Every structure is written in C-alpha cells, then in structure tokens.
Amino acid sequence: ETGVTQSPTHLIKTRGQQVTLRCSSQSGHNTVSWYQQALGQGPQFIFQYYREEENGRGNFPPRFSGLQFPNYSSELNVNALELDDSALYLCASSLGQGAGGNTEAFFGQGTRLTVV
C-alpha cells in the first residue's frame, strides 16, 4: 500500500506566474482534499475532489483551481501568484466523501511554495 505522495517538494516562483502541484492519492482512495498551511498557522481547506468533480470549496479565490484524474490523482493550479500564496500545500486522500467524519484522511508531506 503506497501512501500519499506530492511533487515537487519545494519550488520557487515569481509573482504573477502560474504553478501546478501534484498529488497521488493512497491506493484505493477516491477523494482528494487540498489545504494551504501558511507559516506558523494551521492548514486551511482549499477544495476537495471526489470522483473527478469538485465536491466542496473553502474561502479561496477562483485563481485556485484543481483537477482529479480517473486514477484519483490530483493537481492544484494557482494562477497569478501573489506573495501571500507562499505556504506549504498539503494534499490529503480518503475513501468516500470525507476528509473527516468517520473516515481517516492521510496527508502527504506537502509542497513548499515560495513566491518572490
């Protein structure tokens, strides 16, 4: 059984650029959630994908978008990067429509994004 893997682990982008982060969910999991963790803060929910469709969204602007593929892996895309987008981006996979509830969410190690 493979865990949740994210790539890349670190990257640096310039303000205004676009970035794509990737996540492979744990084997057998069909739900992926993305979280943004600013330095010294708790993770904030961005959105969730279930069976290739967005299934819930947090308080993030439309320039944050995502995809889920038939193998349940997922991408997070951020357009027009701002300095405040610098954060650790965490992906969590789970089985069923929950990164919570009675189902356990398994987190990847995250992608550290720095916007300069």
Binding site for another protein (CB under 8 A): 4, 6, 31, 33, 35, 40-45, 48, 50, 55-56, 58, 90, 92, 97-110
Measured from the CB atom, the residue of 81 and 111 that comes closer to another protein is: 111
CB of 35 to another protein, least distance (A): 8
Which residues does 101 contact at the CB level (< 8 Å), separation at least 6? none
Give backbone dihedrals phi and psi of 84, rounded to 5 degrees, phi first.
Answer: -70, -5
Measured from the CB atom, the residue of 16 and 100 that comes closer to another protein is: 100
Helix/strand/coil for 80: coil
CB of 15 to another protein, least distance (A): 26
Measured from the CB atom, the residue of 6 and 24 that comes closer to another protein is: 6
Give backbone dihedrals phi and psi of 80, rounded to 5 degrees, phi first.
Answer: 45, 60
CB of 103 to another protein, least distance (A): 8
Give, in degrees to the nearest 5, the angle at Cα 84 between 17 and 53: 70
CB of 107 to another protein, least distance (A): 4
The residue type found at 26 is Q
C-beta of residue 33 within 8 angstroms of C-beta of residue 101 = no
